[in-house]
Structures are given as structure tokens and as C-alpha cells.
Amino acid sequence: MLMVLLMGAAIWGIGLAMKAPVRDRLIMLGVLLAGVLAIQLILPDGHPLREATGSEPEFWVLVAGLGALVWGYRALLRRLRSRAQPQAPAAPAAPGGPFTDDELSRYARHIVLRELGGPGQRKLKDATVLVIGAGGLGAPVLHYLAAAGLGTIGVIDDDVVAASNLQRQVIHGVSTLGMPKVFSAAERIADLNPHVTIRPYHRRLTSDIATDLFAEYDLVLDGSDNFDTRYLVNRACVATKTPLVAAALTQWEGQISLYDPGSGGPCYECVFATRPAPGLVPSCAEAGVISPLPGVLGAMMALEAIKALTGAGETLRGRMLFYDALYADTRIMTLKKRPGCPACGGGA
């Protein structure tokens, strides 16, 4: 046994003097130990070589087990350290430039779609969209547009994250409570896809900025929760000839459509000529809303945006989809332009 220990010490000392890596020295000790175990297990009792190396194989099996534990522990520590090291985010590609390797890998499931492909993904990369509201509908819209690779996403909202939002507004979290929703959303988008440019506007949408703001974008998605904003958004979209994807929901039900009078479809005001009487349509805070419903409608909004921007499939232009989550029922209604509409038809 003493001979084996001396050989082990010699191997370690020579390796240290030669500045051999610790891993190589451990491998040599492992080879020595394996040789000793082979001697103990193969040679018969009383053999001089077996006697010189300890004569009892149990001891060396124990040493081998302890060595394996130490080796496994070191390997686990290295793996944990490597995972804990901050990874440098992939550099976003220049607008209009070729896709990076990371983008090609990230969007591979889009690129293989016959209806989308590389040209469709390029259209998404070059597109600019504005999301009104970073709440129940805006949260899934922002998530999926960013994941899909929309080049530039603007989001406008004057609210801050509250605990009551977290039941359905999935882009926010406990760590961003009290933070303006647009900045909370921007943080999540930056973590989700560094190739997306996010423009947060922490302010209320008003008539004096709407038209100029909308003119900077190819498409607007309205996830607001009040009729004043919905009518304002519609008028600004009509004025700038910007297509509008809008949805609304309450309790268990939701509706969605694409309003695009510039392409022959109706605008929002063609369909909803007058506002409901006060109290007729209660807010989510008053009436409640089931948690996944904004996710369902928000995902539909993002999907309509992708189709509208790429030309894939058939959009909800001129149609409205109604979704009843409580009874798993979906209906579609055909919509038409309203003659004399004050927003898009030249009416008073």
C-alpha cells in the first residue's frame, strides 16, 4: 500500500512541477488506481504484487468511490459556474441588413412555413407596429410580436404595474410592481428578443399627438379598455390610412377585427356608430375577467398583425370574430362600411 501511495505522490508532484493541468494529473491517478484494482481483483491471494499493493481490494474500491464522488462534484461545480456566467446578448442585426445566424435559428419555424418563409420574415423584420396599452390585451400582443421578430414595436400607456394586474397581464411581474407598464414591458421584450427595437411612450394617448405618432407606424393594435381611446385611435388610423387591429373583452367573452377602410373595409366607427350608455358595458374591474381570456384575444391580435403585414392567409378585414370562452363558442359576423360614417365616409 505504501508503494502505491508513494507512486501517487510522485505522479502528482511531477505533474505539478511540469505545470500539468489538474485534470491531467487526476486522470493519471485514476489510471494508477484502476491498475491497482485490477491487480487486487485478478491476482490470487498471497501473490507478491497483490501483497505489495495492500492485499485487500475493499480499501481500493472505497478509494475509487471517493475519487469518483470528488470528480463528479468538481464537474457539477464547473457546470453550475458556467451557467451562472452572464451571457452576452446577441448583437442585433442592422435594420434592413441580412439575418444573423441567431435570427435564422430563432425564426426557423417561421421560415419553413410555406405561407411565410424568408420573404415574410423579412417583412416582419422591417415592419413597425404601435400597441395601444400594455395591459391585459397588450401584454400577450407585445410578447408574441417580439417573439415573432417584429422589427420595431412602439407601446403607449400611462399606467403603472399593480398587483391586481398580474392575474392576466403576463408581461409584468412582482419585480416590476410600481414601474410604468411600458418600461416593464420593454425590459421583458429586451430579454425575450434582442433583435427587436422597443419604443416605450409613458404617457396618455391624446388627440394632439395621435395623428403624428400613428404616421410613424405600419400598423396599430388597440388594446385599450375605454371607448374614448377606441374612437380616438380609430379616427387617427383613418387620418393616417393605418390599418387597425382592435379587440375588446369582458368577463368570459371577447371580440376582434381588422379595421382598414383604406383597403375597402369598414372602420371601427362604421360598426360602433354610438357609444354604449354609461354602465351598459362595465369595465374589467367592475365585471371581472377570466385570466386566460386576454391571452386568447391578444394572441389573435398578434396573429392578425402578422398576416396583415406579410399577406399570409386571410385576415379579419370586413369580419368580426366573437369568442365565448365559457361555452367554447366562436362566431364570425360580416361587417360593411357604413355610408356617411363620420370617421371614414365623409359624414358629419
Q: What are the pLDDT digits (tens) for 79-112? A: 655 444 444 444 455 556 788 999 999 999 999 9
User: What's domain 127-334's architecture?
Assistant: 3-Layer(aba) Sandwich (3.40)
Task: Answer yes or no: is pLDDT of 230 > 60.
Answer: yes
Q: What pLDDT does 288 receive?
A: 87
Which is more confident, 306 or 49? 306
- The pLDDT value given to residue 8: 61
pLDDT number for residue 274: 86
Query: Whose CA is closest to 185, among 130, 135, 245, 233?
Result: 135
Long-range contacts of 61-67 (CB under 8 A, 24+ apart): 61/37, 63/33, 64/33, 64/34, 64/37, 67/29, 67/30, 67/33
- Does 324 score more than 90 pLDDT? yes
Q: Quick one: average pLDDT of 129-156?
A: 96
Average pLDDT, the chain: 84
Please give the pLDDT value at position 311: 95
Query: Does 160 score more than 70 pLDDT?
Result: yes
Which candidate, 255, 252, 289, 287, places its Cα nearest to that of 272? 255
User: By mean pLDDT, which of 67-71, 101-105, 189-193, 301-305 is the weakest?
Assistant: 67-71
pLDDT of residue 84: 43
pLDDT of residue 86: 41
Can you tell me the distance from the alpha carbon of 237 to that of 166, in angstroms, rounded to the nearest whole number? 30
**Nearest C-alpha neighbor of 95 from the set 186, 190, 196, 188:** 196
Q: Which of 159, 242, 241, 157 is nearest to 205 (CA)?
A: 157
61 or 203: which carries more pLDDT confidence? Answer: 203
pLDDT tens digits for 239-296? Answer: 999 999 999 999 999 999 999 998 889 999 999 988 877 766 767 677 889 999 999 9
Over residues 153-177, the mean pLDDT reads: 94
pLDDT score of 143: 96
Q: Which residues of the chain form beta strands (DSSP E)?
A: 128-132, 152-156, 197-201, 219-222, 244-250, 253-259, 319-324, 329-334
Name the pTM for this structure: 0.71
Query: In the prediction, which pLDDT does 337 show?
Result: 92
Give me the mean pLDDT over the 198-216 stretch: 95
Q: How confident is the model at residue 345 (pLDDT cuts 50, 70, 90)?
A: confident
pLDDT, position 16: 64
Spatial separation of the C-alpha atoms in residues 332 and 334, rounded to whole Å:
7
Q: What is the pLDDT of residue 58?
A: 65
Pairing of strands 197-201, 152-156: parallel
CATH 3.40.50.720 in the chain: give the residue spans.
127-334
- Find the range with the poorest average confidence among 43-52, 115-124, 257-266, 277-286: 43-52
Mean pLDDT of 25-43: 68
Residue 201 has pLDDT above 90, yes or no: yes
Share above pLDDT 90 across residues of the chain, in percent, rounded to a whole number: 62
pLDDT for 26 equals 67
